[in-house]
Structure 1
Amino acid sequence: MSPYPPNVDDEIRVVGLNEYKEAARSLAEAFAVDDTCRYFLDTPDRAHWTEQQKWELHVAILEYITYSHILKGLVTTVGPNYGAVALWMPPNTTNDDWLTLLRSGLWRLQYKLSAEGKKRFFQEFLPLLHDTKHAALGAREDDAWYLVYIGTRPQSRGRGYARKLIEQITAQADKEGRPCYLESSNAINPKIYRKMGFQEVRRIHLQRAERNICLDIMIREPGAGPQPEPEKPEQLEISVMAT
């Protein structure tokens, strides 16, 4: 046994409503250059915007999303200064009711996003995620733990914080006999997720920008161990038509 007291900064804790801005700021820094997050900002009708204006909108979007998950979900953090933050949607839970949309501020995106940004977010992105989750999980859709966002601040990377947040819930899901579900917007992440028992089941595309943006859909079955590296992973592809 170590003679030193445990580092409280390395203990996972639940984020409260009074902390939503700090948790969202951590996610904003983690996803600052993420293609999917930039998808709603880098639109032709906002080409005149400065990076500072886009950054402020990026932070606002994540504040609304973080607040909604504190209200109707689970937000956890670990590490000093919100080193890593995870947004989960527990089984049999939803945060798309009108009261949560109003309280979280998500309704403000109807006015803050550009015309093209609104099409990308409300007409393409959200319906595609909903339909893909339903197609991938089928009758188990409501039984799954859904990892909506997980991010680590740049200065906190390499310490295993994200893995710690994920393994807390995968251990609980194993006890409950439930699957876990996520979308990965970073090409390097599926290899990491496979080590925690996730496997790719689909790839989806966002298509309204000049180039397609891909997200890998992954599911972890209860009790799953590390997955072997496939030589040529076979993936079913679902994409939404741009209109």
Structure 2
Amino acid sequence: MGVTVRAAGEGDRELVVRLLDEAFQDDPVSNWVFPTEEHRRTTHPGLMAAFTDVVLAAGRVDVTEDGGACALWLSVPADAAHDDEEGPAQLRAAVDPDNERVELIGRLTQDIHPAGRAHEYLWMIGTAPGRQGEGLGTALITHVLDRCDQDGLPAYLEASSARSRALYERLGFQLIGSPLRLPDGPLMWPMWREPR
């Protein structure tokens, strides 16, 4: 049985925020940004909502038809500037003003994001915890990678766990540069996939 993927709209916002919040509650990077469980439980949904709003406005959010998984994509032009001084600070001010890690993660990932070539950027992908391992994430990613291959576009992402890194490697992504070690925290792996 195949997985049907569709573009999300404003009416899907709460579904997407909930999926991302649930999927990333135990993620190593989310645990670094929000080290205490109580704070993560109460503040993490606001961060996922902010990410969702950015991508609904400027990119593409895909969801599986059954609502079990979602992916946030941005099309990055070749001449895109990756030095948005205001974005990470605005995000911190809106989501968690006393938490410098909210801003720092934005600045650090911005610094490693490749420039100079147009590409599709998989900002986030989340699968409901009870649905992981069913191929929903693979379906969401290949839905865009097939288009990338057709259009001759590469794709980029930062893997936030060893498990996700292994999935991305199976889909043709390769580590570029060195992993990013968050201060006193986990690794993130910048990964690039050339079109096939």
**Which TM-score tier does this pair reach, normalised by the shorter chain?**
0.7 to 0.9
Deviation at 1:12, TM superposition (A): 0.5
The answer on 1:204 being equivalent to 2:190 is no
Structure 2: which 5+ runs fail to align? none
Write out per-residue CA displacement over residues 134-172 of structure 1, whole angstroms, 9 at most, x where no aligned residue: 3xxx421xx010000011101212211100010011111
Correspondences of 1:128-147 after superposition (within 5 Å)? 128-134=108-114, 138-140=115-117, 143-147=118-122
1:188 aligned counterpart, secondary structure? helix
Identity of aligned residues (%): 26
| In the alignment, structure 1 residue 219 sits paired with structure 2 residue 196 | no
- Is 1:87 the counterpart of 2:68? The answer is no
SS at match of 2:73: strand
Structure having greater relative contact order (Cα 8 Å, sep ≥ 6): 2
Q: Which amino acid aligns with 1:221?
A: E
1:79–1:35 distance in 2 versus 1, CA, 3 Å: same
Structure 1: 5+ residue stretches without partners: 1-5, 224-243
Which 4+ runs in 1 deviate beyond 4 A? Answer: none
Q: CA RMSD in A?
A: 2.4
Cα 1:164–1:58 change in 2 (3 A) is same
Question: Per the alignment, in what secondary structure is the counterpart of residue 178 of structure 1?
Answer: coil
Alpha-carbon distance, 1:109 to partner: 3.6
Is this contact kept in 1: 2:46–2:95, CA < 8 A?
no
Which structure 2 residues correspond to residues 1-243 of structure 1 after superposition, within 5 A? 10-42=3-35, 51=38, 53-80=39-66, 82-92=67-77, 107=90, 109-110=92-93, 112-115=95-98, 117=99, 119-122=100-103, 124-134=104-114, 138-140=115-117, 143-201=118-176, 202-207=178-183, 211-223=184-196
User: How far apart in 2 are the matches of 1:70 and 1:198?
Assistant: 25
Q: Determine if contact 2:20/2:127 at 8 Å carries over to the other structure.
A: yes
Aligned equivalents of 2:138 and 2:28: distance in 1? 22
> Does the 8 Å CA contact 2:59/2:74 hold for their aligned counterparts?
yes
Relative to structure 1, the CA distance from residue 64 to residue 108 in structure 2 (aligned partners, 3 Å threshold; closer, same or farther) is same
TM-score, L = length of structure 1: 0.71
Q: 1:36, 1:21 → 2: CA distance?
A: 22
Q: Distance in 2 between matches of 1:185 and 1:155?
A: 19
> Please, what TM-score do these two structures have when normalized by structure 2?
0.87
